[in-house]
Structure 1
Amino acid sequence: MNQHPKMDIYASTLYVVPTPIGNLQDITWRALSILQGVDLIAAEDTRHTGLLLKYFSINARLFALYDYNEQQKTSILLKKMKDGQSIALVCDAGTPLINDPGYHLVRCCHATGIRVVPLPGACAAITALSAAGLPSDRFCYEGFLPSKRKARLNSLQALAHEPRTLIFYESPHRLLESIKDMVIVWGPMRYVVLARELTKTWETIYGAPIEKIFAWIQGDDMRRRGEIVLIVEGYCEQGDKLPSQVLRTLSLLLNELPLKKAAVLAAQIYGLKKNTLYRYALNRQQKI
């Protein structure tokens, strides 16, 4: 593992280098060659990156570049590259700039004519999407929801009718609160896939309607630990696709029963998915 092919490194170039999100064997030969060959590695956490480099027996100079110093330190890195040095940009895990530092540096490189070379590699959002079993031809990456509840509810409301599959990152200590707010804004039947600790020993991928996901997480504290990605089914207006007799039955049931129970009963009567009927009834109720 210590021997990997060497590649040509361009002077005055910024390399954007993804690193593993868990399993160290997921790093590419090209990434190892770049990390070995550049003049400097700009890292989100030099201690964390140092452990990765040590594992692969790579000796390299490290430069700390994180959210709170990126604006200040970018000019230093730009000067080094203008003077001919090559630099690799890495984050703690996954692809730089995806909810990690680097945007300002990359933007300034383009503005000043410095070459930017991106490497393909690990990304938790795409890894989770590939295993979620939800539509992946069109998706919307939203990163972390706001930490303040009012802002979080507003964000969820703005996405209530987004038809694309939604991708969120979430922290363990806010997971239940975020899912609870999803139930409030989107209703309990929207399908969600929770992917945690991807590529690691305790990797878990579990999908269910939001309310069931909430109960499942509450059932075991381990299910809210680690790195978490939420893949959420996009909004789908099903009313035009439902037979008229189904809509009439659902309408009659809604006059007598709570929305969720009416949707479940109508689904049982006609052998349809309760999620479909619930979404239609919820949307109809909101328009009244």
Structure 2
Amino acid sequence: MQRQSSYDKDEGKLYLVPTPIGNLEDITIRAKNVLQNADYIAAEDTRTSGILLEKIGVHNRMLAFHKYNSQERAPELVKMMKEGAVIAEISDAGMPVISDPGYILVQHCIENDIAVIPLPGASAFTTALIASGFDAQPFTYYGFLPRKVGEQQPFFNQMNDAHATSIFYEAPHRLSKTLANMETVISPERKIVVARELTKIHEEFIRGTLEEVTNYFKQNTPRGEFVILISPNSDQPQSLTWPELIELVDRQVSQGESKKSAIKQVATTNNVSKNELYERYHQEKL
């Protein structure tokens, strides 16, 4: 067991500071103050973050911390914090750790008893969710899906069966191919929302069936950064039987998922015990 008191030490600490996802007015007063007072700012892209920091009048020293150097840089930052440095970690946009390697630094801090202090703030997927019109409880966030069509299929199978709103990110040059791939798994009548350029001047929500939205982007070139939301599956009963859950696991395995991963995904999606599903699945296969 570990207990952290974030504010009772005059020692080094890590702040996780969200940055605007588009509109710079979304920076909070507290976030600006933390960035101004930190000894160092660990940034995913120092060039991108430099533009933001310049506009809000922050000139602290930046250190590059991204997926290509995170394993080597994290111990270096921990050493600095052990010596008393206060470090603020930011990503290119939105919440640190969400779709960036910040979790590696957080893990190192926890292992070394360094306080980790999160600030609340903007995130593209929650911003899209509250305006989607879909039920926000529960939801499942997938981040960026694999790029290969075959590797996306297990995820779409899971989203197709899910009784929760499903959310993922996609880049503009891959959007049309991803929508076409979705149509091979998900009913064309299923409701989806595609949100783009959130909080920016070209913010837009495209709502409709999967077929309608796919056709829209056949006629309109995708531009900007996208969040895709899929409505919960309301065609099946909310409470599945154990044989039905086992069948879902088998379906995931047939698509290339490992048994362990498939059991975890099905259990999470259907709000059942992973351990109980594991036991029932293996009893069924004896």
Query: Structure 2 length normalisation: TM-score?
Result: 0.78
1:77 match? 77
Unaligned 5+ residue runs, structure 2?
A: 1-7, 239-286
What are the equivalent positions in structure 2 for 1:26-175 lying under 5 Å apart?
26-175=26-175
Query: Which structure 1 residue ranges, 5 or more long, are not aligned?
Result: 1-7, 241-288
Cα distance between partner residues in 2 of 1:217 and 1:189: 16
Query: Is this contact kept in 2: 1:17–1:118, CA < 8 A?
Result: yes
Corresponding position of 1:230: 228
Displacement, 1:155? Answer: 2.1
Deviating more after overlay: 64-73 vs 177-186? 177-186
Distance in 2 separating the partners of 1:152 and 1:49: 31
In the alignment, the residues of structure 2 paired with residue 186 and residue 218 of structure 1 have an alpha-carbon distance, to the nearest angstrom, of 18
- State the shift of 1:11 in Å: 3.3
Aligned residues: 232
Aligned partner letter, 2:91: C
| Amino acid corresponding to residue 108 of structure 1 in structure 2 | H
Choose 1 or 2 for highest CA Rg: 1
SS in 1 for 2:161: coil
Question: Partners in 2 of 1:110 and 1:239 — Cα distance?
Answer: 41
* Deviations, residues 61-99 of structure 1 (Å, cap 9, x unaligned): 000000111001101000000000000000000001111
Q: Which string of whole-angstrom CA distances, capped at 9 and with x for unpartnered residues, describes residues 92-135 of structure 1? A: 00001111121110011111100000000010000000100000
Cα separation, 1, equivalents of 2:11 and 2:29 = 20
Contact 1:9 1:86 in 2 (8 A): no
Q: For residue 13 of structure 1, what is the aligned residue in structure 2? A: 13
Q: Please give the alpha-carbon distance, in whole angstroms, between the structure 1 residues aligned to 2:230 and 2:158.
A: 14
Pair 227,10 (structure 1): closer, same or farther in 2 beyond 3 Å: farther
2:143 is matched by which residue type in structure 1? G
RMSD: 1.8
Corresponding position of 2:215: 215
Correspondence list, 1:244-255, <5 A: none
Contact 1:10/1:86 (CA < 8 Å) preserved in 2? no
Instruction: Show the counterpart of 2:259.
Output: none
Displacement after TM superposition at 1:182 (Å): 1.1
> Normalised by the size of structure 1, how large is the TM-score?
0.78
Alignment correspondent of 1:196: 196
CA contact (8 A) 1:9 1:38 kept: no
Q: Call closer, same or farther: CA 1:239–1:70 in 2, change over 3 Å.
A: closer
